[in-house]
Amino acid sequence: QVQLQESGPGLLKPSEPLSLTCTVSGGSISSYYWSWIRQSPGKGLEWIGYITYSGTTNYNPSLKSRVTISLERSTNQFSLKMSSLTAADTAVYYCARVRVTVYGEMIYYAFDMWGQGTMVAVSS
């Protein structure tokens, strides 16, 4: 059974960078797409971006200038880096696996496995 686990600091100051890691166990990271999603009371669930098994990335345009997602195959992990944090970045951050299902010419995407989430607070 595949499991995902986020790790990283829980409290950061404004303007500091965020670095989170997601460790994937029970399966290889060298297949599937892998994503970061955050959830805050004010903005609900917000997709941050994903990385494919080959390292191609796609980001939410609203965050693209501040975000980098990368893969570390040797440790079966992927990571999120976000710069210039503000209080608006306070949220629970989830890592998730993207299920890509092909039905003929149709391709469907959904998040089928999630980590438990890690709370990140940005405060001076």
* CA separation for the pair 80, 91 (Å, rounded): 14
State which residue, 50 or 85, has the beta carbon closest to other proteins: 50
The number of beta carbons lying within 10 Å of the beta carbon of residue 63 is 16
Q: In angstroms, what is the minimal distance from the CB of 51 to other proteins?
A: 13
* CA separation for the pair 29, 35 (Å, rounded): 12
Q: In angstroms, what is the minimal distance from the CB of 115 to other proteins?
A: 7
State which residue, 5 or 76, has the beta carbon closest to other proteins: 5
Q: 88 with 62: CB under 8 angstroms?
A: no
Give the residue carrying structure tokens 């995407």: 109
Residue type, 67: V
State which residue, 28 or 116, has the beta carbon closest to other proteins: 116
Q: What are phi and psi of 64, to 5 degrees?
A: -55, -40
Binding site for other proteins (CB under 8 A): 35, 44-47, 50, 58, 60-62, 94, 96, 99, 101, 103, 106-112, 114-117
Q: In angstroms, what is the minimal distance from the CB of 110 to other proteins?
A: 4
State which residue, 16 or 46, has the beta carbon closest to other proteins: 46
